[in-house]
Chain A
Amino acid sequence: MSDPSATIAIMTTGVVRRVSGVEVLAVVLVVALGLRVLGVDPLVTPQLRVGATVFVAVVVQALPFLVLGVLLSGVLTAYVSPAALRRVLPARTGAAVPVAVAAGVALPGCECASVPVARRLIARGVPDAVALAFLLAAPAVNPIVLVATAVAFPDAPEMVLARFVGSFATAAVVGWVWSRAGRVEWIAERVRRVPTPGDGPRWRVAAATARHDLVDAGGFLVLGGLAAAVLTTVVPAAWVAGLGEQVVLAVLVMAVLAVVMSLCSEGDAFVAASLSALPLLPRLVFLVVGPAVDLKLIALQTGTFGRAFALRFAPVTFVVAVLCGVGAGLAVGLP
């Protein structure tokens, strides 16, 4: 992986000199502080003001959970042996998938936290499909999310059950689909690379893993936050207006909106509740799709598992989540 700063070559007196990253960093920060001192306010339009706040909010909200996730992944790498994981999980992948989903239920986490953990599960020899089922389940069906949903929909308690069923089914179905159709080479080879053992004390291995995962995922989290902020400020208001009657269209629009807005799973129920002009079914789909696939997650997964993976996983998850959401809604009898 070449460094952009290292490829910037400056001609000084005929000699090609390479600019180091540290120098780039220093110059950028000095320029930024200079502009700040001069009182330059770059947020000149309403869209920029809102977009900047939303962007920083998405990143600031997600970073503590990402940090928690990378710490967990570090501990997992340094302290949990592959043999121990094999003992816990059923040997057959098909049976291990629902176990992983259930583990996700018990482990409250933001979607950002589960990405690095799933990565290190794969590195520790857990089958891809099982780790991915966990990845989808952890943010979507934990107690915190379900309680938040109940609070947001006081008049429709069936939303909680429908959300649980829809998200559980999404994680399990995607896991099974992946165990049938998934290919090993779709996941970037670096994911399976195990840090060499005997590399100093275990806490140091844990710290190195955490640092590595944090930087790998963090840049892409920023990318996802940027995309979410831009699209949130340009798109939704007009989209949702006047969808109340067309349920099929409303389901699709809400599914896309869930991907675009990239809300955290603890808060999305309140946004869904605020869209009171819509029937409950499209709003349920919004809640099932959001934690499974959104721009922030696609970016994180691209950074963690590679582009070939994200290109396949995101569309599959999107389709499965929409179907499971609709199915769960109809089964529970949502209007």
Chain B
Amino acid sequence: MTREVRNALLVFVGAVLVLIVADGTVLHYVRPGMAPLVAAAGVVVVGLALLDVVRDLRRSGPEDGPVEHDHGSGRSAWLLLVPVLVVLLAAPPSLGSDAVDLAGSRTVAVGRAPEEPLPPGEAPDVPVVDLVARAAAAPDGGALAGRDVTLIGFVVPARAGPGVDLARLVISCCAADASPVRVRLDDPRGVVGGPGSGADRWVAARVRLVPGTATRESGFVPTVTVVDAVEVAEPTPAYEY
């Protein structure tokens, strides 16, 4: 690979990094906290390439002194084009129910129950991971006892038996470490409906915890009774942290 091609490639790579931060798709892949770092890395990569380009433009001809033995790079550098193309062509979406299926029985670790009380209001929004941790920490339901809360997640087939679960993916670093977290929906009136075919179906469900259901036997998947549910668009970011 010649230096010219290498520099062009670096500009593409850096530009794509900046681009995905600008249009928000970076949240499909990493935590929000990483976004500024990704953008900064993109700027640095473009800058490194442009420094070399500017130098080429200034220099009238190639005979102008020795060039730091810089013959460009080996053919492996072409691989940098692969993520650029994948992002441009496919713009891979946030992980959803496909990843829940692939994760098998793995569920997110519980035990980090939040100390603070639930947010005020009639049915406050609570992250799914939050509800699961609280439910596992307090067999009697703790702060959740007798309270309605609103969960946002996508609908997946139940882990065991008929019915559906509400699931969300939790990431700690990037989408490669996504772990599913889920609650079992006790929904006798069927207001939630089935899982989406093709794309995921996201719902905001007003639910009440059934105390004592998040046990080791249930894999720390609590059961909640559905009071009401409405279909919503996929939130941004689609993950919980």
Answer whether residue A9 sits at the interface, using C-beta atoms and an 8 A cutoff.
Answer: no
User: For this complex, into which size category does the number of interface residues on chain A fall?
Assistant: 35 or more
B92–A211 CB distance below 8 A: no
Q: B106 — which chain A residues lie within 8 A by C-beta?
A: 236-237, 240, 274-275
A46/B9 contact (C-beta < 8 A), A267-B173, A274-B179 known: no
- In whole Å, how far is A284's beta carbon from the nearest beta carbon of chain B? 15
The DSSP consensus for interface residues of chain B is: helix
Task: Indicate if the CB atoms of A216 and B179 lie closer than 8 Å.
Answer: no
B225 within 8 Å of A (CB atoms): no
Is A280 at the interface (CB under 8 A from chain B)? no
Instruction: Please tell me if the beta carbons of A49 and B109 are within 8 angstroms of each other in the complex.
Output: no
Which segment of B47-55, B119-127, B186-194 sits at the interface?
Answer: B47-55
Distance A13 CA – B20 CA, assembled complex (angstroms): 44
Per-residue contact bits, chain B 181-208, to A (CB 8 Å; 1 contact, 0 not): 0000000000000000000000000000
Q: Given the complex of chains A and B, what is the CA–CA distance between A11 and B94 in angstroms? A: 45
- B66 / chain A contacts, CB cutoff of 8 Å: 196, 199
A199 CB contacts on chain B under 8 angstroms: 66, 68
Q: Which of B4, B17, B40, B90 has the most CB of A within 10 A?
A: B90
Inter-subunit contact B79/A32 (CB<8 Å): no
- Tell me if B232 is interfacial: C-beta within 8 Å of chain A: no
Cβ of B34 within 8 Å of any chain A Cβ, yes or no, is yes
CB neighbours (8 Å) of B73 from chain A are 1, 212, 215-216, 219
Residues from chain A with Cβ under 8 Å of B29 in the complex: 53, 56-57, 60-61
Give chain A residues whose Cβ lies under 8 Å from the Cβ of B156: none
Which of B81-89, B141-149, B159-167 has 4 or more CB atoms under 8 Å from chain A?
A: B81-89
Q: A32-B88, A53-B29 are in contact. Are A270 and B179 (CB under 8 A)?
A: yes
User: Whose C-beta in chain B lies nearest to the C-beta of A67?
Assistant: B41
**A261 on interface, CB distance cutoff 8 Å:** yes
Residues of B within 8 A of A238 (CB): 104
Q: Tell me how many residue pairs across A and B have CB atoms closer than 8 Å.
A: 248
Give the contacting residue for B30; candidates A24, A60, A269, A277; CB below 8 A: A60
| Residues in chain A near residue B112, CB distance under 8 A | 151, 154
Judged by a CB distance under 8 angstroms, whether B95 is at the interface is yes
Contacts of B90 in A (CB 8 A): 41-43, 52
Q: How far is the CB of B4 from chain A (nearest CB, A)?
A: 6
| Most chain B C-beta atoms within 10 Å of own C-beta, residue among A43, A61, A199, A232 | A61
CA distance A172 to B6 in the complex (A): 37
| Interface-centre pick from A5, A225, A226, A271 (highest chain B CB count, 10 A) | A271
Known contacts being A53-B29, A199-B68, is A270 close to B10, with CB within 8 Å? no
**Known: A3-B1, A61-B34, A274-B109. Is A267-B44 also a contact (CB below 8 A)?**
no
Chain B positions near chain A (C-beta within 8 angstroms) = 1-2, 4-6, 8-10, 12-13, 17, 20, 26, 28-30, 34, 37-38, 40-41, 44-45, 48-49, 51-52, 55, 66, 68-83, 85-90, 92-95, 98-99, 101-112, 170-177, 179, 220
Kindly list the 10 A-B residue pairs having the minimum CB-CB distance in the complex, ordered from nearest: A267-B173, A237-B104, A21-B5, A273-B109, A219-B76, A57-B175, A270-B172, A61-B174, A46-B98, A219-B79
Chain A residues within CB distance 8 Å of chain B:
1-5, 20-22, 24-25, 28-29, 32-33, 35-36, 40-43, 46-47, 49-50, 52-61, 63-64, 67-68, 71, 148, 151-152, 154-155, 193, 195-196, 199-200, 204-205, 207-208, 210-212, 214-216, 218-220, 222-223, 225-226, 228-229, 232-233, 236-238, 240-241, 261-264, 266-271, 273-277, 303
